[in-house]
Chains A and B, each alone.
Chain A
């Protein structure tokens, strides 16, 4: 079987691991705590593919039919 990456799939939007300062300003911008972010499981194929660890925050850049480009953020949690 050939090597296959979920990241190459059309339907998988761009996931990036945010660095600490980015996370800090994100939480400040929305006046929320880390726990109030949407979650994603560490076992999620995309998390595995980009090598994110539990506690990381991912920045997801999606195509949006209404907003053009939309940003979404998820906290990596254990299963």
Chain B
């Protein structure tokens, strides 16, 4: 194989095409606006001249002899009858006209001044800095001189009229005049305005010759009716040539100046719209149907343009996109694929003597699901499988052919949800073909994708080679990505009802009959060897929820931790903790404590974390599958619902809360009095006013907290909202407080609300009122409802949050893009060091410790503790 190492680009230079260059690269001068003759052959020296390249298969290029696809196409040219302005450069033309002498075309600066700027530009170029500022200054200074320092000619004001007209005083400056002025400019002056006299002479901004792009750039399409339909660019070029011809005829016939000028203007219009059909002040050229033409600039610009649409962003084959929905019966490694998609996406299967019968079966089935859509013959020709030709193809099929068979169960595909902000935004799943129209996924993989089911869509890519499939299987499979490379903990794990379900199951002693116990576990991928019953009740054996959970744990698994229920009592009661906060698992048996978010939740799950790190990713995947199934059966066993009445509190509690808040308001009033009487002691480093605000906020904050405590106590651990908040499934006690008891202080920038009218927030208050109500304290809860004034303050506080998130997402998005651009090519080599593409070392040891954060323990080096406990034995006590 011929291998040439990648080349490095030293420099990219931009310039203008000179008329001579355009003629030199042209293979034909186009003179006639007609494209094809009656027989459908392209006309010589017409816009479809065969020398411009070929697009019809079978024909050969008149210039290079290549076939369609081989011939790159060749430029032609049009000689314009009169010069016209290039719209893309009108601003530069204007600046330049104002900066040079109308008589001698010298820059309106003395040579010393010009040389000074030339020197500056040279210095900047040497250190590769932009010269824009200097050039701007040159134009600015030159324009100031109304008398030419070289020939003494008096300068007149140059007016520019959109889009392409220039006036000197009252007189119109025709492109010919502009061009002749620019032609006289000397090289040093051109350099001083930031142009390169060798590659971009200013007069080349006035067009006299127009390049005609090859037909490959503007292919005509044949409609079903047999009629030819030309590209928009061809249409525009036809217009330009037509006008050129009329112009020529009129000129030769000696038509009056007025008519000539009109035609010139028309030529200018056509060339302008050919280059850019969206110039301000120019009516866009339209197709016969009224649709504006897509000309050169429109092809490049914008989201769908060449740069953003075709070069940076590409469409990809063998992919599918649809809405996602949950399916708790799928493994985390699977993805449910709708039948319609599975019959459309294919995987190439190379026919060998070993699989030829299987391949034949696929071909025979054709479009019936596990079938095939195409076969590829050894010569590379693709044949579509139809009901009519299936049997024929089956006969011909032999080793060496490729069968593009449908996606089927067990195929490995990539699954992705935008915005793809981190590595686990794209993971490999196993296909499970299902009825329906949505992609299905296990709920435990929602966190890495940040997916929910309110209409989210996701993309799926069918891998086309065995190498790709193997690589994805090893590196990208969901179970290989349970640990986040960001913080070294599990990012895949239980959410919402998984947490609630296991919490209900393991909190306290829940008793199950044999039948119920087996029911809980029947879907789990475990060997059900019924343990000894936990006890007998009415002489019937019963088993506990903790035993059920123990069933899905590895047999030799041990851990000890304090879960989210821990109240941080000054002296921990350990196993006797009445909050079930002390979790002990010994040899696969949950001895005490309740399972909550800290045990199995995504991001935090400690049990999960230990299973991935100490067993294997397969064991972890099975554990996740099992606990999701178990938790769902558990939550269904107990029944779990949430409604408005779960936010109710009784009269006594309400009265208590009202009392707490009244007392707080009293204290605030006293603080204000103390302040007014000058009795308030300022806090260190604060003014008296700041101290007052601080103390008031503190008082009101405390009031809300105790209101929340009262409400929380009232609801108790049987309340579903409390269960969810305590177990970490969803919501917090603060949410609950705000609903049931008191919303609390609204703030802007961490302060009480002060904006509004002079010395007061709203006209409902006295000027200078410092009380709680006047500055955004909401004493009611959402359930009770807010007063109009409270509602208004709440809207103010809420708005700040919205603005914050909006600003933060855009800023962090930009920051992330910059980081990715800077870091994307860096690579960790086998020696543990980081190199960039040229091989230059960036770090001699990755992260200075050579540790993969995904494999570290929550990104801290504290693995030692667990290692010690393993080595020393099960003496977990001392370790924690």
Contact = CB atoms under 8 A, between A and B. Distances in A.
B841 A70 contact: no
B877 interface: no
B678 interface: no
B831 interface: yes
A12 to B, nearest CB: 17
Given A30-B831, A30-B833, A66 B841 contact: no
A64 interface: yes
Contact of B841 (A36, A62, A67, A68): A36
Interface in A46-79: 62, 64, 66-68, 70-73
Interface in B815-857: 831, 833, 835, 838-842, 844-845, 847-851
Interface in A9-28: none
Nearest to A35: B840
Contacts of A1: none
Contacts, number: 40
Nearest to A62: B848
A66 B840 contact: no
B849 A32 contact: no
A36 B845 CA distance: 15
Interface residues of B, number: 16
A37 B841 contact: yes
Given A30-B831, A30-B833, A66 B847 contact: yes
Interface size class of A (residues with CB under 8 A): 10 to 19
Contact of B838 (A31, A36, A67, A71): A36
Secondary structure of the B side of the interface?
A: loop
Nearest to A65: B848
Contacts of B835: 36
Contacts of A67: 845, 847-850
A38 interface: yes
Contacts of A31: 831
B844 A64 contact: no
A30 B844 contact: yes
B844 A71 contact: yes
A57 B831 CA distance: 21
Instruction: Give the residue among A38, A66, A67, A72 with the most B Cβ atoms within 10 A.
Output: A66
B842 A70 contact: no
A76 to B, nearest CB: 15
A38 B840 contact: yes
Contacts of B842: 38
Contact of A37 (B831, B840, B861): B840
Interface in B857-878: 861
B839 A36 contact: yes
B848 A70 contact: yes
A35 B861 CA distance: 34
Contacts of B840: 35-38
24 contacts: A30-B833, A30-B844, A31-B831, A32-B839, A32-B841, A35-B840, A36-B835, A36-B839, A36-B840, A36-B841, A37-B840, A37-B841, A38-B841, A64-B848, A64-B849, A66-B847, A66-B849, A66-B861, A67-B847, A67-B849, A68-B849, A71-B844, A72-B844, A73-B844
Interface of B: 831, 833, 835, 838-842, 844-845, 847-851, 861
